[in-house]
Chain A
Amino acid sequence: MLSFNLLLTVCLIYVAGLFGVAFLAEKNAKRKKLGFFSSPVTYTLSISVYCTAWTYYGAVGSAARNGLEFITIYLGPTLVFIGWWWLLRKLVRIGNTQRITSIADLISARYGKSTTLAVIITVLSVIGSTPYIALQLQSLTLSFSVFSDGFGGQDPATASSLTALWAAVGLAAFTIIFGTRNLDSNERHHGVVSAIAVEAIVKILALIAVGIFVVWGVADGPNDIMSRIQPEIMRSQDIFTPRWVTLIFLSATAVICLPRMFQVIVVENSDEKHLSMASWAFPLYLFLMSLFVLPIAIAGLDILPAGANPDLFVLTIPLTQNQDALAMLAFLGGFSSATSMVIVAAIALSTMVSNHIVLPLWLWLTLSRSPTSEDVRTLLLRSRRISIAVILGLGFLYYQFTSGTGGLASIGLIAFLGVAQVLPALIGGLFWQSSTRKGAIWGITAGFILWAYTSFLPSFEGNFILSQSAISNGIFGLEFLIPNALFGVMIDDPLVHATVWSLGINTITFIIMSMISLPRPIEKVQASQFIHIFDQPATSTTLSRQTTSEELHILSQRILGHQITQKLFNKAARTQGKLSGQLPDPTNDFVIDLEREFAGSVGAATAHAMIGQIASGEAISVEDLIKVADETAQIMEYSARLETQSKEIEQTAEQLRQANAKLRELSEQKDAFLSQVSHELRTPMTSIRAFAEILRDEDHMGKDQISHFSSIIHDESIRLTYLLDEILDLSFLEHGKVQLKLSFTKFDKILKRAMNATQTLREQSGAEIQIPYNLKNLVIETDADRLSQVLINLISNAIKHSDADKPIIRFSLEHFEHTVQIEMTDNGKGISAENAEIIFQKFAKLSSEQGAGSAGLGLPISREIIRNLGGKLLYVGNNPGAVFNIILPHSISPLLDPAETIEPAD
């Protein structure tokens, strides 16, 4: 029998060996000669941290109790790894490009570098992992207790506690020494990874050795083993159950979502190519790990006394067969499984706690622009060391709290389900563009609460928060709140029940909240960077910040340390073509690189916040840039609209200008008209006034004189009245306000009236009017008075302006379809071209003569009358005397409003 002291000595030597390996790896890493330590084999072996003491010892126990169920824990990861091309490759690529430090960091970075999300996942991970660490401590103490003969007469319970305490302290020391040497994830934990790789070899060798011993040493080959199968194991024939599928699913999820698995697969990955080897080598490792589990369980049940703990068969079979060396190897295998898990989990969790909880808190407490009181680097390392100690302390407390209860055995799967709450947000983040931060936060929170209520709290069996009665009868006695039958949903297996509820509600909440909320701009940027990671080798983020190199240098020194900062800044200075010793310019690229480097140490969210803080003031963040871009797009659209509008306005303005010009022209015409009118009025008024004054002032005037003057005044008044009548008439005609007395009239009658009116004039000048017979007989519908007025005007004009001895005026008639054209010619000299333009204007005084008694309104009035009668009065030229055409419709009645339908005369 092995003595306890011997066991302890071997353990210490083993640990010293691990220290040596870790130290060697760290040393080689510094000289950049890693060789084996950074090979895909080491990477694959480090992933085997998945196989904890729970699987090392517990798999055999599970096989002894439930047959093949243990194998699901290995099948899930196998499926994930053979499908590496789809998920793991993407995760690793994102991890490398975005300098991701943990699963909380990944999800927070994906959803817009959200601190809230990072904190939630960190808390969830710590809660989910602490019992798991306790489980490892329990395994360690159990395996020590097998050799309890060597405890030296101490009380077994005290001895167990002591062992657990020392194990926790030792693990904390190892983790602190090798896990917190450096900060940048880019350097990674080579020492730790190498030590874990060695442990991976030890545990698989140990299990295979025990397996071979059992099959060919204890039994007589595989057939003998198969013949010893107990009915307990045979019982589980139909293995395809909801629990089977759930276990495969949960283990597949765990290999991605467990903080320690994320740490070794994504964070510690130094080359994407390593993954392609791990894709088959890790399943092979799992295959070998599980190959002998069933034979060991069968042999243990067969040869060991009933009631022996099947969880310890791996140790107890060699011991009972007096194979001390094999037992020692088996013990070291279990020891390796427990320690490697605890170390990696502590590193992963402490990184999360310090990056996502301690640092943001500290940043919040010291809002100053540049930290002066504390050194970020020291703070981070210190907080990580403390976190490791606290996490292991929590694990130990949890172990103390629950030791002796059977609750611990099932805690492995409960932890799996706890961390699986991250899965919807993770998968959504990698493949679904529209998933949002709100969706992730609400989904994870809802899943977390349901997991705690249906799975985690009931596992304490009434010792923690939920009482025994609350577990069996529902909280406050409400039946629909029974943790194992929520809302009356009866699922036999509590784990399946909890999985369906928590992950189902989680996923639905995640999807619904994502759909009803809008992603912030930075989320959109991060989403496309994550989802299209393979399409964009280089980052497309452009940031422009107003900060100085000195500030960046100070911050960088605080976070990354002096040496790394110096190296980074020198490299950047060289790239920018500066002399060595000069600081590089804070260009976009440089700031982005720096933020990446910081992200490797403190996580994306914090790095973003720190750079943002130092560059506050004139900082332009991606959000701002996107906002600017949005605004620019809006402005462009707006200006395009303005352009269209301004075109319209221009057109309108042109129309207005034209209208204005017309108005001005009209106004000028009106002014001219008014001045002409006043001039025309002034002349008679002046003479009236003058003669009136004479009549008033002269006392001694003869009767003749008085009569003469009075008649002048009378004549002038009549002329004035006549003029005013004409103006009024013209105004009425122009506005179409005249009342026409329409009737069918023979033209002869109209002509006679005109002849009578001009009789005196004709007789004085001896003028002759020639009227053809057909014109006399013409009958048209018209206003006879008005038409005769036109004829009078034309005839008297022709006579007055004629220079012939005997003026002759000739009329002729021509019929058209709807109109008649009456032409009037005289034998005078015609109208000069100069006068032809103005004869139709008001008050036109022909240049060559002074029309006595004429105000120059005759022709304008005539033209307006004809227009009102639905026709046209045109001057068509000289032949050689002036020729006027009067065009009139046969009938005016159909033209209801002649002023509108007939175009005004030119």
Chain B
Amino acid sequence: MSDLEEPSVENLTSSKTTEDKPLLAQKRNDLAALLPICGVLFFATPLISTITNDNPSGIGGTAFYIFSIWAALILAAYGLARFLRGTDTNPDEAD
């Protein structure tokens, strides 16, 4: 009975990952998640008003805050895209 099952179980549980270095890939994925989390943190939490509330320049200060963070995020995304392109080992679609 167990003799019959063993081979099929092996096939099913055989390693699925195509990554050569799973740990590196994991870290790369984590890094890719960092950016949107930072974005949410800066734009969609009360952080956005606590930093700018005391600013005497009012809406100008808030706008300055948003646009600065925004620019920083774009720059970071640019860096990240270059970095990810360099490490992406996944096969691309042959189109």
Residues of A within 8 A of B (CB): 67-68, 71, 75, 78-83, 85-86, 93, 96-97, 186, 226, 229, 233-234, 236-240, 244-245, 248-249, 270-273, 276-277, 279-280, 283-284, 287, 291, 294, 532, 534-537, 636, 640, 643-644
Report which of A82, A532, A643 forms a contact with B73, defined as CB distance below 8 A.
A82
Q: Which of B29, B32, B52, B70 has the most CB of A within 10 A?
A: B70
Question: Chain B residue with minimal CB distance to A241?
Answer: B49
Inter-chain contact A287/B74, CB cutoff 8 Å: yes
Inter-chain contact A83/B92, CB cutoff 8 Å: no
Report which of A244, A643, A644 forms a contact with B44, defined as CB distance below 8 A.
A244
Residues of A contacting B1 in the complex (Cβ-Cβ under 8 angstroms): 640, 643-644
* B13: Cβ under 8 A from any A Cβ: no
Inter-chain contact A245/B77, CB cutoff 8 Å: no
Within 8 A of A (CB), among B37-70: 39-40, 43-46, 48-49, 52-53, 57-60, 62-63, 66-67, 70
Please report the total number of B residues contacting A with Cβ < 8 Å.
Answer: 46
Residues of B within 8 A of A (CB): 1, 4-5, 16-18, 29, 32-33, 35-36, 39-40, 43-46, 48-49, 52-53, 57-60, 62-63, 66-67, 70-71, 73-78, 80-81, 84-85, 90-93, 95
Residues of A contacting B35 in the complex (Cβ-Cβ under 8 angstroms): 82-83
**Given A82-B73, A276-B84: A229 and B60 interface contact (C-beta under 8 Å):** yes
Inter-chain contact B93/A283, CB cutoff 8 Å: no
Report which of B5, B29, B60, B62 forms a contact with A226, defined as CB distance below 8 A.
B60
Could you tell me the distance in whole angstroms from the C-beta of A597 to the nearest C-beta in chain B?
A: 13
Inter-chain contact A537/B91, CB cutoff 8 Å: yes
Inter-chain contact B39/A79, CB cutoff 8 Å: yes
Question: Chain B residue with minimal CB distance to A74?
Answer: B70
Inter-chain contact B85/A283, CB cutoff 8 Å: no
Task: Give the distance in Å from the alpha carbon of A692 to the alpha carbon of B46 in the complex.
Answer: 133
Inter-chain contact B18/A537, CB cutoff 8 Å: yes
Inter-chain contact B32/A85, CB cutoff 8 Å: yes
12 contacts between A and B (CB under 8 A): A68-B63, A79-B44, A81-B77, A82-B36, A85-B32, A86-B32, A186-B95, A238-B49, A249-B44, A271-B95, A283-B77, A294-B63
Inter-chain contact A82/B59, CB cutoff 8 Å: no
Could you tell me the distance in whole angstroms from the C-beta of A84 to the nearest C-beta in chain B?
A: 8
Could you tell me the distance in whole angstroms from the C-beta of B21 to the nearest C-beta in chain A?
A: 15
Could you tell me the distance in whole angstroms from the C-beta of B31 to the nearest C-beta in chain A?
A: 9
Inter-chain contact A640/B4, CB cutoff 8 Å: yes
Residues of A contacting B53 in the complex (Cβ-Cβ under 8 angstroms): 237-238
Could you tell me the distance in whole angstroms from the C-beta of A77 to the nearest C-beta in chain B?
A: 11
Q: Which of B29, B40, B43, B90 has the most CB of A within 10 A?
A: B43
Residues of A contacting B39 in the complex (Cβ-Cβ under 8 angstroms): 75, 78-79, 82-83
Inter-chain contact A239/B93, CB cutoff 8 Å: no
Inter-chain contact A86/B43, CB cutoff 8 Å: no
Inter-chain contact B70/A239, CB cutoff 8 Å: no
Inter-chain contact B92/A272, CB cutoff 8 Å: yes
What 6 pairs across the A-B complex have the smallest Cβ distances? A83-B36, A85-B32, A640-B1, A280-B77, A240-B49, A280-B78
Residues of A contacting B46 in the complex (Cβ-Cβ under 8 angstroms): 240
